[in-house]
Amino acid sequence: MLAAGLCAALACTALAAAPPAPATAATQPKAGGATYAMADFARVRKYDAHVHYNVADPAFLEIAREDGFELMTINVDYPDFPPLAKQREVALMEHAADPARIHWAATFSMHGFGQPGWEKQVESGLRDDVGRGATAVKIWKNVGMVEKDAQGHLVMLDNPALSPVAEYVRGLDVALIGHQGEPHNCWLPLSQMTTENDREYFGHHPQYHMYLHPDQPSYDDQMAARDRFVAAHPKLRFVGAHMASLEYDVDRLAAFLDRFPNASVDLAARMGQVQYQSVRDYAKVRDFFIRYQDRLMYGTDLTYEPGGDAAEFKRSADAVWRSDWQYLATGETQHVDTVKADVPGLALPRAVIDKIYYANAVREFTAPRR
């Protein structure tokens, strides 16, 4: 089963005990270094490491320029998106329009998986894409949740037939962006979900609510397959999309990063789960960001689709970017509807923000270094 929305669930796990009182200005730790303010937002170099620029229209590029962002637009084998050839066409067009600001990640189709010639076809396509400027490759959650082999079994990420592709990506010297599984909330009853958007989405889309489908691989099954894959390819630059689907628990994400020193993660579409945790244990979440400042990349999953209203998209993108900046970079409090709480900002030091918002993505998504 596969959620129809690319980031349908923005979630983290429920806590059994009643949470402590939310952090307030009086309980927040000192910033530990100079911090940015909202007035700094547009002037600081930033990189949204996870977007989908799916329409040949300048609106996304325009708001990125206004707000000081570079973008990594990610092609993905997702049936609700334009065909892969169209996604690639748009990525090439927008990259050509501003190559210093628009970067792109290639992908490949699982169609024909297990049949003779599939692997060579994938390698040929990726070689051409990297030659045309792609600096990453995406493998999506259809691996593990949709695709089946000739025997009718789900193809998990650690399937041996995917190993040569992973090594080919490593040989191209670009990052592999992996999105495996769904947010942890997907496997919980609606009453235990921790964000309102997840509760609403899965309440209206029970076919995608894994809690209702115990015949499907469990959350831990998905994470274990991903971990076996990363362990098998220790020299591969691996980027765990959406906080590697460990968004519900910064301690568990920390253990993943400790175990796999060549892995990093993006924050795309998981800010609500982080905020859910920080209103309960502000110091732990803030300390996590500081400790792993070299392994985290800012991202949103903003998606500009054909038929979208350009002006409205620009307003929405700007609002998302500014809200996240307020939370990560400043100590200001904002009300977050999806967690039903007033959420104080983490006030991360400038040096930390500069890495999370820019330097880490530049490092991971550089052109091949050969």
pLDDT of residue 367: 63
Quickly name the fold that domain 38-364 has. TIM Barrel (3.20.20)
Domain boundaries, the chain: 38-364
Q: Could you count the other beta carbons within 10 Å of the beta carbon of residue 204? A: 9
pLDDT of residue 197: 87
pLDDT of residue 201: 87
Query: Block means of pLDDT (10 residues each) for the chain, length 370 residues?
Result: 37 31 40 85 98 97 98 95 97 97 98 96 98 97 94 96 98 97 96 93 91 96 98 98 98 98 97 97 98 98 96 98 98 97 98 98 80
- Rounded to whole angstroms, how far apart are CA atoms 285 and 289? 7
Torsions phi, psi for 214 (to 5 deg): -65, -10
Would you give the DSSP letter of residue 23? Answer: P
Contact 41, 359 (CB under 8 A): no
- Rounded to whole angstroms, how far apart are CA atoms 287 and 29? 10
Residue 8 three-state SS: coil
Count of alpha carbons within 13 angstroms of residue 215, beta-carbon side = 5
- pTM of this structure: 0.91
